[in-house]
Amino acid sequence: MVVGDFPIETDTLVIGAGPGGYVAAIRAAQLGQKVTVVEKGTVGGVCLNVGCIPSKALIAAGHRFHEAKHSEDMGITAENVKLDFSKVQAFKSSVVNKLTGGVSGLLKGNKIEVVSGEAYFVDENNVRVMTETSAQTYTFKNAIIATGSTPIELPTFKYSKRVINSTGALSLEEVPASLVVIGGGVIGIELGGAYANMGTKLTILEGTEDILSGGYEKQMTALVKKNLKKHGAEIVTKALAKGVEETENGVVVTYEVNGQESKIEADYVLVTVGRRPNTDELGLEQVGIKLTERGLIEIDKQCRTNVKNIYAIGDVVSGPQLAHKASYEGKIAAEVIAGEASEIDYLGIPAVVFSEPELATVGHTEQSAKEEGLDAKASKFPFAANGRALSLNNTDGFMKLITRKEDGLVIGAQIAGPSASDMIAELGLAIEAGMTAEDIAMTIHAHPSLGEITMEAAEVALGMPIHIVK
């Protein structure tokens, strides 16, 4: 092994080049810091390479294929619709390559040094970056840990050719004839739904009472379940996945519901039971960085760990494992290092599921507002009363606006319906800007558009709806 003779100095060292790390690095460079990024894999992290982006490409392809076969209601009948999955995978890879190449260009354009290797803390001002053939010490004034997370592997479902995680599901060479998904959370529903649209017989085994139970109301998840079942999917709740037997051409999954054991055969089993933080093998104990029982790094509202010049962001800290949360925290950490008065405020961070229909939420739900003792009300408007949704032949869903009764302040919103992932941004802005239902209602929205639903929900909150009877 070749060992560097002298430490290389930098102002800010960022460990990890995912959506948290590369954004932190760019913002730090914009604020005048000399920045070095250490990445052991590929720039872009899980999100761009084997997560958010490639999964959405597969989801989009699944939608196109399903719509091509099922648009008779709009007078469109297509014959001999075929799916060339190798081309779908090539399309997915082209999207990934464009984005990761773009991120590399942004880092280079901001004069950020990108170093390949694994970082290990020596002390609070030095890390050792190692590859198979070399090792080099980097001395830093401040460091940002942005190493992300890894899929959890169940002891009774060891990963193999047929027992796969989300990364494996994104790189299949064929559309499975049948697929069992263990875990009805966001990843399981999104990837399972994508393959169901391509013709896969889908079975979802969920341990709790409902799918998407982490933050999504039953009114929303009911719509997703209805659409999955319409595609022939079977959803089994309160199910305990006990084990798997691999056969020559597939798997046999054993599960238990209410003490009764059952077996199901499939081509593959996809395990999506959560992700664990990548905090091992960083040498955090060398500098005394505090971890929670779950292995998460403890931080304050400025993303600072208990070691004053070391920060942590993204999946290695508490909170929802969202790429945009990591990016947001990356900016906070970089700005704090530069001496700016930035701190975390999570209220306006949205969460989205790219299911059918799409689900999105931001701020308070009706339930969380009650739990916090807020005197709030929920105002609901259906997609079925919107002209644009009708013209799209896609009317399942609703928007629910959560406002404070005393002054109409917008404190939350939930959307289930087409383009919910795009529509939620306006509600996030409303919360961040301290807007009221009246502010939204007085904003002229283009017609016909799905955006009008936001205005209509605000008018419901004011007690003066136009397109539904009060």
- Of 227, 385, 313, 284, give the one whose Cα is nearest residue 24: 313
149 is in an annotated binding site: yes
206 is in an annotated binding site: yes
215 is in an annotated binding site: no
426 is in an annotated binding site: no
122 is in an annotated binding site: no
379 is in an annotated binding site: no
How far separated are the first and last CA of the chain, in Å rounded?
75
468 is in an annotated binding site: no
45 is in an annotated binding site: no
- Residue 147: strand, helix, or coil: coil
- Residue 351: strand, helix, or coil: strand
Instruction: Give the H/E segment covering residue 90.
Output: helix 85-109
- The answer to whether the CB of 10 falls within 8 A of the CB of 119 is no
- Of 33, 32, 50, give the one whose Cα is nearest residue 41: 50
Which residues are catalytic, by number? 447
- DSSP state at residue 64: H
452 is in an annotated binding site: no
285-293: long-range contacts at Cβ-Cβ below 8 A with a sequence spacing of 24 or more?
Answer: 286/120, 286/121, 286/122, 286/123, 287/121, 287/123, 287/124, 292/318
183 is in an annotated binding site: yes
Would the CA dihedral through 76, 78, 83, 89 be positive or negative? negative
Beta bridge partners of 414: 361, 400
118 is in an annotated binding site: no
315 is in an annotated binding site: yes
188 is in an annotated binding site: yes
Listed in sequence order, the residues at least 6 apart from 468 whose beta carbon sits closer than 8 Å to its beta carbon are 381, 382, 385, 456, 460
274 is in an annotated binding site: yes
Binding site, annotated residues for NAD(+): 183-190, 206, 274
Binding site, annotated residues for FAD: 56, 147-149, 315
Binding site, annotated residues: 56, 147-149, 183-190, 206, 274, 315
